[in-house]
Structure 1
Amino acid sequence: MAPLLKSLQEERGRRYMSTPWLSSPHLQTTFFRFFGRPPVFNYRREILITSDGGTVALDWLARSDVMEKKEGTGNDEADEDANTPIVIVIPGLTSDCDSVYIKHVAFYMAKRGWNVVVSNHRGLGGVPLTSDFFYNGGWTEDIREVVQHIRSRSPDVPVFVIGTSLGANMMVKYLGEDGDDILIDGAAAVCCPWDLLLCDRFIGRHVVQGFYDKVLGASLKHYAKKHQDLFTRLTDWDGIQKACSIRNFNTCGTCPVGKFDTVDTYHRQSSCAGYVGRIKVPLLCISALDDPVCTKEALIWDECRVNNNIVLATTQHGGHLGYLDGIDAKGIWWVRAVDEFLTVLGSSKLIKRQNKMPDFLLVGPQKSLPDKDLVKKTWNQIHFGNLPKMAKIFIRRLMDEF
């Protein structure tokens, strides 16, 4: 990893400096979600049916979708897209493809020459919940099946993953679970919570953090109301309606569905910190020490230090998924940093190339359905193959973006 870092340092040459009039972590965290104008573009949607009958919306933005098209280069662009490295983006808690920061990530990375796919969590991105399970902070099976699906179609193309906030926790846990068998070439975790129990206690004990707790709890309630039929049947619906925090929601919803005895059991078992030692691919972790949602006390300095595959980069400022820089606050520093890391990584010898496709990808990949056929599908039409088992306008706008 040392040569990679030296190359990256030579290419970048400067540290993060926040926008002067947005030095507060709370302004950094909320400003972009209220006032940031997302780029305008259209995704290409793909629907993936997972092995347990769940539905995941994959929203693609290819490099050719945002590049200026030249006459007579249609086939050439298609060929280039087929050989372009892929970046999978895992959103944070109740974020999806239309969240402001996710759209900025997708557009910037595509402009920089990547094929980007946003892997929406179950029940988000405008798709229904089609199985008796919804995602949680430790649920990695959907990431695994998305990666398997993409690998089955593009076995020779470098594949990277970017996880944000809770999505970073899920991604890091997945990297550790799969270890040497991982099917991706590198990853980046931005504002990862690391220890969900510590973060739960942090956000529940402080007055200012209590605001974020209520907003995020409201976003989870909004998610549940979108899928009320399933939540009424599988969870403590009365408790969810009264929930005013993330912890309340997890107690009444996440624990019954995920079969966790207590909410603290869920936090302990779902935290990614315990899986860091088993990560075998290059991983860049970016965290702000003033993050108002994910406490710096949860940062796992020693674990990252002893794993030569991991770089933990911390900044004094940045907030939670903020990192706005420049006098006009139009740029997101962490997006550029991740792009530069993955670009250098892609041209290095650290990529773990897949010389042979795993046997389970050859048995029969998951069924991928066009979006228009989603409502028409029936269970007996779906072939799963032999796969492993597996957030008043202010408040509304904020909770829709987390």
Structure 2
Amino acid sequence: MPQIKSNYKPPFPFRNAHFSTIYSAKLRPSPRIAQQRERLQLPDGDFLDIDWSFAKKSNQKVTILLHGLEGNAQRTYIKGQAYILNENGWDVAAVNFRGCSGETNTVYQSYNAGKTDDLDSVIKAVLERDIYIEVSLLGFSLGGNLLLKYLGERETLPKEIKKAVAISTPLSLKGSLESLNQYYNWVYRSSFLINLRKKYKLKMKDFPEKMTAEDYKKITSLYEFDNLYTAPAHGFKDALEYYKKNSSLQFLPNIKIPIYLLNAKNDTFLSSECYPIELALKMKNLHLEIPNYGGHVGFHQSNKIYYSEKKALAFIKE
């Protein structure tokens, strides 16, 4: 399908990538929604938490929301999307990945950009409620990569899954890491690294035979975190193999349902591989929009509603 012509033109300050990214993550007032937490027990004995919010009058439709690296279901971008969905008749299951809901998870593994077995468990749990006839998947950043990999690696999907939306998605994990390593992204990568090191240190107490103080000292970059923890914890030889096997770009051609991919041209987290224009021309079901502005998950329109939230709703409603 031809690339979607974007008409997104935000107010002047939000044309700066860093301003739109930081404002949206840290300064935008968080929409008020009522959430109910449900703990999902996973097949390996671990858990993750789902924060549900409900439409006033449900129409048997639900959207599963997936957050980004070191995010959670309380982040403003999750609540903003949940709010507009709830207002338009959709229930929302906002997922907190393992270890992201305020409580350390119980096994050595955690979450990563390609851990689709956990997403599969969430989808099964949602469908076991025997309420929903239509399910949509909506992911931000790492969560976008996760859902695209899930959709593209499976021969069959539950019939209830109709559409998917991926926003500010790193289709190439290695390429996006290289982008994050640019000098102008030091604030973001430093914030991610501080949080990931804290989690590593906490887990060291439970898994001293696998996680050591010596390795902890070596974790001075996102690459080293993935090399020393993410890769070995999830069965990969090293960080490079983890990036290669889990980048969603390779799975896009296999996806059968309609998908909407929204990646801003000025997103400093993304590399050139994250804008699959040629592939979109060949795929009838890939709707690709590349606005000039938006930064990383920063598509400000007003504090009440973001451009990305409005477009995501319109796409899944079509």
The TM-score with structure 2 as length reference comes to: 0.92
- Counterpart residue number, 2:74: 98
The TM-score with structure 1 as length reference comes to: 0.74
Instruction: Tell me, yes or no, if the aligned pair for 1:28 and 1:324 is still in contact at 8 Å.
Output: yes
Q: 1:84 aligns with which of 49, 60, 74?
A: 60
- 5 Å-filtered alignment, 1:195-206, equals 195-204=172-181, 206=182
Q: 1:295 aligns with which of 247, 251, 271?
A: 271
- Counterpart residue number, 1:160: 136
Residue 54 (str. 1) matches residue 43 (str. 2): no
- Counterpart residue number, 1:341: 315
- Counterpart residue number, 1:186: 163
Instruction: Tell me, yes or no, if the aligned pair for 1:160 and 1:186 is still in contact at 8 Å.
Output: yes
- Counterpart residue number, 1:311: 287
Greater alpha carbon shift after TM alignment, 335-344 vs 303-312: 303-312
* Structure 2 unpaired stretches of 5+: none
Q: Give the 3 Å change call, closer, same or farther, for CA 298–33 of structure 1 in structure 2.
A: closer
Count of aligned positions: 317
Residue 320 (str. 1) matches residue 296 (str. 2): yes
Deviations 1:278-305 (A, max 9, x none): 1011111100010011224432222333
Whole-Å separation in 1 of the counterparts to 2:300 and 2:20: 7
Residue 131 (str. 1) matches residue 88 (str. 2): no
Structure with more of its chain in helix, by fraction: 1
RMSD between aligned residues: 2.3
The letter for the 1-side match of 2:37 is R
Identity of aligned residues (%): 24
Whole-Å separation in 1 of the counterparts to 2:211 and 2:171: 26
Deviations 1:169-216 (A, max 9, x none): 011000001243345111100011001111112222x21023322222
Whole-Å separation in 2 of the counterparts to 1:235 and 1:334: 39
Q: 2:262 aligns with which of 263, 286, 294?
A: 286
- Counterpart residue number, 1:370: none
- 5 Å-filtered alignment, 1:3-402, equals 15-64=7-56, 80-81=57-58, 83-154=59-130, 156-183=132-159, 184-204=161-181, 206-230=182-206, 232-326=208-302, 330-344=304-318
Whole-Å separation in 2 of the counterparts to 1:50 and 1:112: 31
Larger Rg: 1
Residue 270 of structure 2 aligns to a residue in which SS? coil
Offset at residue 330 of structure 1 (A): 4.7
The letter for the 2-side match of 1:145 is S
Residue 56 of structure 1 aligns to a residue in which SS? strand
The letter for the 2-side match of 1:338 is A
Residue 116 of structure 1 aligns to a residue in which SS? strand
Residue 30 of structure 2 aligns to a residue in which SS? coil
Residue 63 of structure 1 aligns to a residue in which SS? coil
